[in-house]
Amino acid sequence: MPLMRIKDAASFLGVSDDTVRRWVDSGALEAGSDEAGRMVVDGYRVALLARDQAHAVADPSGVGRSARNRFVGLVTDIKRDTVMAQVEMQCGPFRVVSLMSSEAVDDLALELGSVAIAVVKSTTVIVETPQGAS
């Protein structure tokens, strides 16, 4: 069971340290102590709480598709030349960048501030861990 300090749990949950402490006091999260006597929480329980607390913007397209990874967001940058474009979106806390034709940008009428949906369908997902993680 990976343990994490209160400040790290707060960072992953997008809340203050005090909020995490209140959740511990209310029983929403169970806490213990590490070898240095600092309050720690179970990383898996934090992950479950993060999943339960997540609020994705609903997909407004009404389109059915097989891809499960859909990120609704706002276009924050468009870099384009005559053939290709790089479109950057802010989807909740995530920055998503797509390379597409400049023609596709025009066809989709993308502009700064447009609502757009990034759809990711991939057979390769790379998972990494921080250095020193065990």
Residues 62-120 pLDDT 10s: 777 777 788 888 899 999 999 999 999 988 788 899 999 999 999 999 999 888 999 88
Q: Report the pLDDT value the prediction gives residue 104, as an integer from 0 to 100.
A: 97
Residue for token pair 């990711």: 120
Q: Which two tokens stand for residue 110?
A: 């993308």
Task: Tell me the per-residue pLDDT of 80-89, one tens digit each, with 9 for 90 and over.
Answer: 999 999 999 9
Strand ranges (E), 37-104? 39-42, 69-80, 84-91, 94-101
Q: What are phi and psi of 34, to 5 degrees?
A: -90, -175
Share above pLDDT 90 across residues of the chain, in percent, rounded to a whole number: 45
pLDDT at 121: 80
The per-residue pLDDT for 85 is: 97
